[in-house]
Structure 1
Amino acid sequence: MSSFHDIINSDKPVLVDFFATWCGPCKMLAPVLKEVKDNLEERISIIKIDVDKNQQLASQYQVRGLPTMILFQNGKQLWRQSGVLQKKDIINVILEKSNQ
């Protein structure tokens, strides 16, 4: 299994969803992210990080609210947002911020 560091250093954009199983808005975001992945297919990787199981990682990226999405490319943080967004808004940000 690749480490988190290896994954976010990809030249393909990586959207990281910091979530918790008990978080209502996180549950609302999950199907939206599936649609984003279906739309963008191989142009993006989406990974989910359970903050309860990965507290050190959540702390390292100062995740305070859930869900928090952070877009990485080549190890650089390009964008971050807490809360639920619509599919089109997430896709627009990914396409605008990454050099796709």
Structure 2
Amino acid sequence: MKKTDSQRSHLQGATVEQTVSQPLKLIWFSAQWCGPCQHMAPIVEATADKYRNQIHTIKVDVNADPKLADDFQIRGIPTLVLMQDGAVIDRQVGATSQAELSQWLAQHLSNQQLPDQHLPAQQ
């Protein structure tokens, strides 16, 4: 499957808010020299494809954009940061399996409330 910019992008010198407007953004902080990051590459790519209509995945090279890594207080890589409405809602540090990553994202997607949905009043 061909990857498109709408499915996944590389972020450098821009703010996360300047990217597409999908409600959830997964920011993947990595580096070319990082072995666990290289191991995670096909996992993140497959997961990005799986959730492409619900989550926008952004790859950030910490060497190319150290300010953004510092802004997000990245102390170890690989780090996955999940954002919603401009706020960090969760993060994972270290390599993970595709099943664990999918479960983590599915949990957040199931907790996501769409703007026009309202929970019934409790009685």
Aligned counterparts, 1:85-96, within 5 A: 85-96=96-107
Q: Structure 2: any 5+ residue segments left out of the alignment? A: 1-10, 114-123
Q: Structure 1: any 5+ residue segments left out of the alignment? A: none
- Could you give the per-residue CA deviations for residues 30-81 of structure 1, whole angstroms, max 9, x where no partner exists? 1001110222231111110010111111111110111111000111111111
- SS class of match (2:17): helix
CA contact (8 A) 2:20 2:56 kept: no
Please, what is the CA RMSD of the aligned residues? 2.2
> Aligned residue pairs: how many?
100
Partner of 2:90: 79
| TM-score normalised to structure 1 length | 0.87
Q: What amino acid is aligned across from residue 43 of structure 1 in structure 2?
A: Q
**1:44 paired to 2:55:** yes
- SS class of match (1:21): coil
Q: Distance in 1 between matches of 2:19 and 2:78?
A: 18
CA contact (8 A) 1:29 1:85 kept: yes
Partner of 2:31: 20
Q: Residues 45 and 11 from structure 1, CA distance in 2 versus in 1: closer, same or farther, beyond 3 angstroms? A: closer
Higher helix share: 1
- SS class of match (1:63): coil
Partner of 1:63: 74
Larger Rg: 2
Q: Which has the higher contact order (CA 8 A, sep 6+)?
A: 1
- SS class of match (2:43): helix
- SS class of match (1:33): helix
CA contact (8 A) 1:11 1:74 kept: no
- SS class of match (2:81): strand
